[in-house]
Structure 1
Amino acid sequence: MTTTSTRALDRLAAAHDASHYLLVPAEVATPRDVGEVAALLRSATERGLPLTFRSGGTSLSGQGVTDGLLADTRRHFRHVEVLDDGARVRAQPGATVRQVNARLARHGRKLGPDPASEIACTVGGVVANNSSGMACGTEHNTYRTLDSLVAVLPSGTVVDTGAPDADARLRAAEPELYAGLAALRDRVRGNPESVRVIRRQFAIKNTMGYGVNAYLDHDEPADILAHLLIGSEGTLGFVAEATFRTVAALPHAATGLAVFPTLAAATAALPALTGAGLATIELMDATSLRLAQAERDPAAALAALPPVAEHAAFLVEFLGADEAAVAAARAAAEPLLADLDVVAPLALTGDARERAALWQVRKGLYTMVAGARPAGTTALLEDIAVPVPALLDTCERLTALFAEHGYPESVIFGHAKDGNIHFMLSERFEEPAALDRYRRFTDDLVDLVLGNDGTLKAEHGTGRIMAPFVRRQYGDELYEVMRETKRLCDPAGVLNPGVVLTDRADAHLRDIKRAPAVEEEVDRCVECGFCEPACPSRDLTLTPRQRIALRREARAAEEAGDTALLAELERDYAYDGVDTCAVDGMCQVACPVRINTGDLVRRLRAERPRPLERAGWNLAAGHWAGAARAGGAALSLAAALPTPLATAATAAGRALLGADTVPAHHPGLPGGGDRRRPRAAERPVAVYVPSCTGAVFGPGDGGDGVTAAFLELCDRAGVQVTVPEGIDAMCCGTPWKSKGHDRGHRRMADRVRPALWAATREGELPVVSDAASCTEGLAGLLDELPGPVRVVDAVAFVHDTLLDRLTVTAPLPSLA
């Protein structure tokens, strides 16, 4: 049965997505399957309650927020099925683009849409927003690569457009909708002006309004409906499953940065570059280059340049199935590339590290601008598209608008060959003058883009931000076609009202998110959601984004004098926000502005008055070898006892000392592990620090355990590693650091640092750790040594150092 919550913490956590809009849902629901979604839709229609579906929460235009019922479709809709040896893939809306592409990788295939947010954006959002990306253009976007979908309409009807008789089924189940779509198809096709406008608008990237090009591209109402749902932002129905035709994944590349003296020189070269077969041509304006050049460690191509003045650059890349294909493309384009009006010769590289550094120049722009914005300001990342010949004029006039309206640090970047540019603003919306400034800027932006025959939304979806301008972009006739499309699909108007279409001229200025200053980690967060797929507690309680958002909500309640709400949030946050955070730092790896929410949680834990717990952990830090052996012995004893007896014993302990102090026994727990022992080596290439987890917990499958397996692999490969003396008393420090026990952490650090400094020969040898959390813990612990010590995860060490020396006799098809 669908789980529904009206708890303030759940509603406020769900209120925040990547956009700059904020609406607090009345209820948050978590349906588990299509049947429960259909029931939600029927219930919302009967109650007249607005209903919004959300998966990844990475949409930027306000299409994922509501003050009605918010349905989380990420948690239970993650199934991915590869079809036809990778030629097609079927995925549910909660699966991320990266997860789908990971399943396709072994087949040499990938999804056509390649959004920059692929680490966190989900199939649901890809379909809802008609996603594209840096390389796919309009040829391989969601609309063009959709094969079929399963959708749930507001009436509760489930439509499978992949069924052979899909059209007949739609006619039988929804006769009014079927007839209405057929009538709109004929109406659009019979109006030459509508046909002209549609062909012009959808010749470029365009996610403004509904995809009325479906009325020209498809004949049967079932196919028309399927393609109208793409880019409809959850306003016409719920897409429960989508099947895509995939594209070839091209793993080989050559990348370079072409820096031009002016934007005019860059855009003048664009037609020739587009014709040269480049997969990507990414634009960066002068402000972008100045910010990138000022970074602590800029890419070599930028570091070698004189100070940026009026320059502009293209990050260009060839892709190919193999090195020969890339070499052939480079050779064919060589005369053109050599003749470019650039300030330094364009050097293409296939080296992975050099390519990553170049891409960081482009992808790091968001990080630089968002991370450096003043505390208390909200970041806006917007996008538009114009015909390529109008790109220069649009960029120059947009830069002038930044200056005119007081946004001097705004940057322009984007997908030049598509005429698709992005720009970023920072604004303090709680000030009325700032909101008025944003209104005037938006009005001028609309005039500029539509005056150049462009679209006000290229990739990010209409949402709330551009809904007031849909009529102006398409004209009265096509706007009425869109309104009738909405009426046919959602007669009660319960699906995401105010998104895509609106009667409010000021809708883009309402319900804007404020960002009260709280603390360092919180103030830098742009709530993009990139951290969420990496969070271990995302399906238990909260994600890093939600932990940060709730700190903002608590501060807002405090400033408003709402003591009742503040008390409720603090009470529930203690468990959901603090106790259940793994503090493993994986959120920082994914975060574009490098926030480690674990640091925030550790600080909050350290502020708790728990003297007995602190004393116990401090004692353990001084006697860790004995503590680890005691833990292992307890597990071995529990494993030897009859299960009911062990369970009853831990239950009694939990009742007496508390559930947070005594862990519950589970019959699936292994026995205790083996004591860690030092290991000498004459010619070691690394210092191995086996995790103390293996000393407490024995192997669960009856095997030899991680430590023995790793050392056996080293022996077979003929690679010597040493295990330091005193290893049984060492730990990475994570148990203390994660709980905020600073004194115990310092005590452990004082033992481990000198021992590993000596064992690594003062940093000459790397440290190898066999647990990811220990790798992260040791890296932080060793930061304060006199010199650098490299910490390597055992998986990476085996891949980089051992694998080529081993004979693989029984390869596994997959570990997934």
Structure 2
Amino acid sequence: MATQHTRGRGAADLRDGQTWSVTAHRVDTAALERDLRREVDGEVRFDAGSQGAYATDSSNYRQVPIGVVLPRTVEDGVRAVRVCREHGAPVLSRGGGTSLAGQGTNAAVVLDWSKYCHALISCDPERRTCVVEPGIVLDRLNAELSRHSLRFGPAPSTHSHCTLGGMIGNNSCGASAQAFGKTVDNVRRLEILTYDGLRCWVGPLSEQELTSVIERGGERGELHRRLREVRDRYRERIRAGYPDIPRRVSGYNLDSLALEDGMDVAALLVGSEGTLATVLHAELDLVPTMPHKALVVIGYPDVAAAADAATELRAHCDPLMLEAVGGELAHFIREEGMFPGSLRLLPRGSSWLYAQFGGQTREEADEQVRRLLSGIGKSEQDDDVAISDDPAREKRMLHAREAGLGATANPPDMPESWSGWEDSAVPPERLGDYLRDLLALFAEFGYERPALYGHFGHGCVHVRIPFRLKTEPGVLAFRRFLRRAADLVVSYGGSLSGEHGDGQARGELLVRMFGGDLVRAFGEVKDLFDPSDRMNPGKVVRPRRLDSDLRLGPDYRPRTDATFLGYPDDGGSFHQGVLRCVGIGNCRSSSGGVMCPSYRATGEEEHSTRGRARLLFEMLQGHADSPISDGWRSTAVHDALDLCLACKGCKSDCPTGVDMASYKAEFLAQHYRHRLRPVAHYSLGWLPALAQVAGLAPRAVNAALHTPGLGELAKRAAGVAPERDAPRFARWDFQHQWRRRGSAPPRPGDPNAVVLWPDTFTNHFDPRIGRAAVAVLEHAGFSVAVPEQPVCCGLTWVSTGQLGVAARVLRRTMRVLRPWIEAGTPVVGLEPSCTAVFRSDSRELLPHDEDAARLREQFHTLAELLTERSPGGWRPPELGADAVVQTHCHQHAVLGFDADRQAMRRAGIDADVLDSGCCGLAGDFGFQRGHYDVSMACAEHALLPALRRTDPGTLVLADGFSCRTQIAHGSDRRARHLAEVLAAEVHR
């Protein structure tokens, strides 16, 4: 029988027909939306943008939802389910949207709890329990619990953005499950809501308590009575059919019904993937935090040998985690330039085991490491052993393990790799032999160089596989492989899933693991909770085919229009760039790094990097049912990208290297092709040219821009936010001041020559920074040259999507700099965003220009030049000052900050480099009308509160013009450029 690839109807169909066919039901979507808006005090969205953003999770699957509801309270969620029941609409409860098996996508009404329903309701430190709402993120929960020295035990790699509701739905684990077990082992009780309206708390009951509940009757009693019947009917099959391994996540937890004394319905529901009931509240067990940790890494010749050794290690220790990194994963990490420092810390070997220990004291943790090494006959002096009890060093060492999913998603010298068989588990003592057979199966199917890693202490292995999901033969091979792999893991007494659940990827394979009787029992349990099959239908029970609803598939035909940018890292393809996003969801984190400031400000999926990537995917219209039907002219995609700050944080912080700033620029270029643009694109996008004109009469321009009434009219005409003050043009620009200096500049080829780049912001607004840089460079032994012609990197045209103009401007700049480029003279930039254009964007704009390629190697930051290329070795005066530092986003993402740290150390500056994310101004973004609130919300996320806490005598450093402007606007502090601070000491 030919493979069928079925898909749900899309948003375009809804607008035409106003009905939605789901299995045998038809839903009047117009009436459903109307009633949801009337009954639910939350956000109800049936628009194309929301449908596109929620059409997939982190899996291979895609189903366009009916609509999305973001309930403001748990009670709103209850009302939303009731309205869906009245209309016969299916429901999908969703957490962080990172499911890898397809359980987070469905043709249903999606309930996203994460924006509003994220409270810690209560905490009982004595009992070590807490009660939470389903949308609370794990890291946020643990941060709130830290004052009690408690935490929730399981910690998936998505801990910065996964929700407790999602963890309960998937029975999440993570590395810490080695010590604390799976989520099911840490859930005490659940408050649930069934599709038919039963709302109650469920949890463990002794046989006597179970009888009492049944005798009290009512819907709750009836549910428990029928569950007892299922249990009694299948008790022996349950006991015989469930593998006794630490990482069995597949199937419903029917074993929780067949306890020695009674049953635990809460445990039954954990891992049921939203197919049985909606979780409203959860009471969780907590564990004490470990204030001190120690890590040992041991090298092995191959990944199977590491798996063999894991059993021996466990015989000598009881670690917090016992993880593995295979050689191919390390290779991909190295090839992609991810965490190079992490790999350098690894000991000799081709694969590695990581064992971490915890204690109330450092000595307690260290002693466990010594005891382990002694037990296996090794010493910390061995070259295949590395240890650490320093938290910062441990974090760096662990980066290689945590990079797994990102490094294997788009390996540079491999075909695209996908989930599908990413977390099988076997008895830990049999893992080595299982891996050898699994590697042979990969070879048989031609799936080359699988990068294995995972939780080897629990026998769970992770891998992404280069399935050929764009061709019919490839999809058929995908199906055959999964069936063979399922039989293999079952032959080892293992589980199809050891962490990520079944969903659609493994639902139809459950019969191979559990047999027909237990799968029938799953169906009976499903019918008890959800007789109309409206809760996340088609997953786990009566599942849709594992090769249907594919995000790609043989019928995937995206548009391939000519683009303005070159996308050299993606084979010249915008589409391949968009496919970099595999839904990991790091862009939904709430702290640390830069990505994604607009999500942190709004809490909106479509304003995350992932949400925007999903909408661009839909815009390319690879599927007939795409909700985005108007391509590059899409207003839904435009609205989602409008709040992208183009900070480039995702370029470095996204594990797969999504560069949304470039995708936004491309979209704007296509969207406004042959059309009038917003006025801000002309006023702010053409700022370098306008600044040249303003330089003819800066006093008059400043007076006009700052005169009450006239200034407001000018801002309105320019599309500038009325809350913003226009920056003042300098009386004399830096290039003018340089010409008046009158000194003979060096010639190209002079050994100590350096070209100081006069960016628009330094040149026209802050020329004092240019003068300061000259003083510092000359003090360091350089001979400084400054281009005297008007030059520009094209940044403002890039950020507003005027890419044709940007390319022309950049080519003109190359002609001006050509003598210096040919001579190999270093060029130093003072404005990080402009420097980043030469180091990164020029490769996209001019992918085949040799001068641009040469200049990328010659362009440096001030700190890089001083610390790495100073003629006599730079020795600055000792400043001896404290400073807080706001790193520019483009410096974080493209340039790096290590040289700046080194320069500040040499100058005696004790620098507190803020981990505050984007300042929120982000070039033209914060100046554009309509962006002010989001811009200031980004600043208030961390930057401005940190400045308010800072002592008035502490220096504030910010090399970015945007950062300094935002700091001046939002605080009473004046930020200074590093050049100014160093020059002040040079002049003493």
* Class of the TM-score when normalised by the shorter of the 2 chains: 0.7 to 0.9
- TM-score with structure 1 length normalisation? 0.77
1:537 aligns with 2:598: yes
Q: CA deviation at 1:40?
A: 2.4
- Measure how far apart 1:738 and its partner are: 4.2
Matched, 1:207 2:249: yes
Q: How does 1:331-370 map to 2 (within 5 A)?
A: 331-339=370-378, 344-370=383-409
- The whole-number CA distance in structure 2 between the counterparts of 1:636 and 1:130 is 62
Seen in structure 2, the aligned counterparts of structure 1 residues 378 and 756 have a Cα distance that, compared at 3 Å, is closer
Partner of 1:594: 657
Counterpart contact for 2:649–2:890, Cα < 8 Å = no
Q: Give me the whole-angstrom Cα distance separating, in 1, the residues matched to 2:898 and 2:389.
A: 35
Matched, 1:795 2:908: no
- CA distance in 2 between partners of 1:524 and 1:139 (Å): 34
2:644 to 574, 581, 587: 581
State the distance in 1 between where 2:275 and 2:698 align.
57
Inter-CA distance 131–216: structure 2 relative to 1 (3 Å threshold)? same
Relative to structure 1, the CA distance from residue 162 to residue 786 in structure 2 (aligned partners, 3 Å threshold; closer, same or farther) is: closer
1:283 is aligned to 324
CA distance in 1, matches of 2:341, 2:417: 27
Out of 405-414 and 287-296, give the one that drifted further. Answer: 287-296
CA distance 1:158–1:675, shift in 2 (3 Å):
farther
- 3-state SS in 1 of match to 2:103: coil
Equivalent residue number for residue 455 of structure 1: 495
CA distance in 1, matches of 2:699, 2:888: 19
Query: Which residue matches 2:964?
Result: none
* Deviation of 1:127 (Å): 0.7
Matched, 1:546 2:586: no
Which residue of 2 is the match for residue 322 of structure 1? 361
SS at match of 1:206: coil
Please point out which of 87, 96, 101 is paired with 2:142.
Answer: 101
SS class of match (2:432) = helix
* Cα distance in structure 2, aligned partners of 1:755 and 1:496: 53
Q: Which residue of 1 aligns with 2:888?
A: 775
**Worse-matched range after superposition: 207-216 or 489-498:** 207-216
Q: 1:50 aligns with which of 83, 90, 98?
A: 90
The one-letter amino acid paired with 1:597 is M
Which among 552, 562, 578 is matched to residue 522 of structure 1? Answer: 578
Q: Secondary structure of the equivalent of 1:385?
A: coil
Distance 1:351 1:529 in 2: 29
CA deviations on 1:497-516 (whole Å, 9 max, x unpaired) are 11111165xx1111111175
Structure 1 vs Structure 2: percent identity of aligned residues? 23
Q: Which amino acid aligns with 1:579?
A: D
| Whole-Å separation in 1 of the counterparts to 2:359 and 2:428 | 25
How far does residue 62 in structure 1 lie from its aligned partner after superposition? 0.5
Deviations 1:263-314 (A, max 9, x none): 56444433331132222221334433554566754656677747x5xxx431
Per-residue displacement from partner, 1:386-438 (whole Å, max 9, x unpaired)? 11222122111000000000101212211112111112112231201101111
1:162-201 alignment, distance < 5 Å? 175-176=218-219, 178-185=221-228, 187-188=230-231, 193-197=236-240, 200-201=242-243
- Compared CA separation, residues 375 and 404, structure 1 to 2 (3 A): closer
Give the conservation status (yes or no) of the 8 Å contact 1:54–1:73: yes
Q: Does 1:427 align with 2:467?
A: yes
Q: Does the 8 A contact of 1:257 with 1:301 survive in 2?
A: no
SS of corresponding position for 1:411: coil
Partner of 1:613: 683
- 1:227 is matched by which residue type in structure 2? A
Distance 1:552 1:299 in 2: 33
For structure 1, which segment, 188-197 or 296-305, has the greater mean C-alpha deviation from structure 2 after superposition? 296-305
**Is 1:518–1:555's contact at 8 Å kept on the other side of the alignment?**
no
CA offsets, 1:662-698, max 9 Å, x none? 4256xxx9x999999xxxxxxxxxxxxxxx9xxx9xx
Quickly say closer, same or farther: Cα 1:467–1:806, change in 2 above 3 A.
same
Q: Does 1:663 align with 2:714?
A: no
Aligned to 1:260: 300
- Contact 1:176–1:488, Cα closer than 8 Å, also in 2: no
1:485-524 mapped onto 2 (5 Å cutoff): 485-502=525-542, 507-514=545-552, 518-519=574-575, 521-524=577-580
Letter in 2 for 1:179: E
2:173 paired with 1:110: no
- CA deviation after TM superposition for structure 1 residue 41, in Å: 1.9
Amino acid aligned to 2:618: E
Contact 1:37 1:152 in 2 (8 A): no
1:26 Cα deviation after fit: 2.3
In the superposition, relative to structure 1, how do residues 230 and 155 fare at CA in structure 2: closer, same or farther (>3 Å)?
Answer: same
Letter in 1 for 2:889: E
* 1:147 corresponding residue in structure 2: 188
Q: Within 2, Cα distance between the matches of 1:563 and 1:286?
A: 40
Structure 1: stretches of 5+ with no match in the other structure = 639-645, 677-691, 697-730, 809-816
Give structure 2 stretches of 5+ with no counterpart.
Answer: 1-40, 559-572, 590-594, 731-760, 766-791, 814-826, 836-858, 869-873, 905-910, 917-942, 955-988
Is 1:138–1:204's contact at 8 Å kept on the other side of the alignment?
no
Post-superposition Cα deviations, 1:167-221, rounded to whole Å, max 9, x if no partner, equal 89986998345334334335535755235236x4354212211111221348677
Scaled by the length of structure 2, the TM-score of the pair is 0.64
Q: Distance in 2 between matches of 1:169 and 1:637?
A: 77
- 1:154 and 1:47 map into 2 onto residues whose CA distance is 12
Q: Is the 8 A contact 1:177 1:488 kept in 2?
A: no
- How much has 1:600 moved relative to structure 2? 2.2
Paired letter, 1:120: H
1:478-497 Cα shifts (integer Å, max 9, x gaps): 33332222111112110011
Amino acid at match of 2:645: A
Q: 1:626 to 1:340 in 2, by over 3 A?
A: farther
Question: Which stretch shifts more, 124-133 or 595-604?
Answer: 595-604
Q: Which amino acid aligns with 2:134?
A: P
Aligned residues: 733
* Deviation digits for residues 117-143 of structure 1 (CA, Å, limit 9, x no counterpart): 112211111010111111223853211
Paired AA for residue 543 in structure 1: S
Q: What do residues 499-555 of structure 1 show as CA deviations (whole Å, max 9, x unaligned)?
A: 111165xx1111111175634531322222221235333335532112112222222
After superposition, residues 120-135 of structure 1 pair within 5 angstroms as 120-135=161-176
Cα distance in 2 for partners of 1:12, 1:628 equals 50
Deviations 1:91-146 (A, max 9, x none): 22222212212222333222111111112211111010111111223853211211
- Native 8 Å contact 1:757 1:785 kept in 2: no
- Aligned residues of 1:293 and 1:302 also touching (Cα < 8 A): no
Question: Superposition pairs for residues 638-717 of structure 1, below 5 Å?
Answer: 657=717, 661-664=719-722
Corresponding residue for residue 62 of structure 2:
22
1:559-588 Cα deviation digits (max 9, x unpaired): 86x999542673314532332112223334
The answer as to whether partners of 2:380 and 2:387 remain within 8 angstroms in 1 is no
User: Residues 45-70 of structure 1, C-alpha deviation per residue, up to 9 Å, x if partnerless?
Assistant: 23222211212100100101111322
The 10-residue stretch of structure 1 (424-433 or 167-176) with the greater mean CA deviation from structure 2: 167-176
Code of the residue aligned with 2:598 in structure 1: it is S
Shift in Å, 1:259: 1.7
- SS in structure 1 of the partner of residue 355 of structure 2: strand
- Alpha-carbon distance in 1 for matches of 2:322, 2:863: 49
- Residue 679 of structure 1 aligns with which residue? none
1:427-477 CA distance string (max 9 Å, x none): 231201101111111111111111111111111011111111223322333
Partner of 1:4: helix, strand, or coil?
strand
